[in-house]
Amino acid sequence: MTSAVPAHEIPDVVLSHSGDDPITPVWLNDVGGITYRLGEGPSARYLKWQPPTDEVSLSAEAHRLLWAARFVACPTVLDAGYDESAEWMLTAAAPGDSAVFTPWLEHPEITVPALGRGLRRLHDTLPTDACPWTWSPAERISDARSRGIDVQLEATDAPTIDRAVVCHGDACCPNFLLSDPGQVTAYVDLGSLGVADRWADIAVAAMSTEWDYGPGWERPLVEAYGVDFDEERMSFYQRLWDST
């Protein structure tokens, strides 16, 4: 959201790609990266910029978007690059508005079931056997420890896999775009996309409903996804998310 981005100097790479289009900072992520909207309306473009970090790779995201775009609606990669101070990725606008923007934020009774159905459609559509990436608990724990995080969970703590799917990798509510009448029309922030148990996504999506809409929306999301609520898998994958 624009209000979440503090005043700052616009990076040169953003200025060089904006041309005569207005520049609007729209999102600040947890590692100091900023997403800018260049222009307005359907022809707008989005430039994600961030300082070097081991946690998030825009190069990895660009590769995953190029693959996923063959099967589902997601941002079209127009350009990407890096230098010693930052990396960046330019994409075309995807259809819809974030699930945490107006009007969807004010109507969780419409938005949350749409998110559950949209996540299920993503899992049912992306071909697991053709996906080049994985997102297993072992990989996530190893990566977190390599970044100095003291993860108390072990991969052997993971429940047996319910169903292996191509997971979004960051299935929080802001990363789903919706349009009238409350249908998911595109997916964004696919930098961790990979094959894993579907509960790795379901648990995070359900947990994020409380952050964005308040308590009481976890079960409606799972119900709309179309599975029974699984306390064991929900608990493990939420703890894994918080730990890594």
Q: Which residues are catalytic?
A: 170
Q: Cα(62)–Cα(77) distance, rounded to whole angstroms?
A: 7
Q: In this structure, how many other beta carbons lie within 10 angstroms of the beta carbon of residue 205?
A: 24
- The residue type of 221 is L
DSSP output for 181-200: TTEEEEE---TT-EEEETHH
The torsion angle over the Cα atoms of residues 98, 102, 104 and 108, rounded to 10 degrees, is 120
Task: Please give the structure tokens belonging to residue 219.
Answer: 């079960």
The rounded distance, in Å, linking the Cα atoms of 219 and 205 is 11
Q: Are 66 and 78 in contact (CB under 8 A)?
A: no
User: DSSP strand E in the chain: where?
Assistant: 23-28, 34-38, 45-50, 77-82, 87-92, 97-98, 164-167, 176-179, 183-187, 194-197
> What residues form DSSP beta bridges with 165?
196
What SS3 state is found at 211?
A: helix
Q: Do 89 and 58 touch, CB atoms closer than 8 A?
A: yes
For residues 46 and 91, is the Cβ–Cβ distance under 8 A? yes
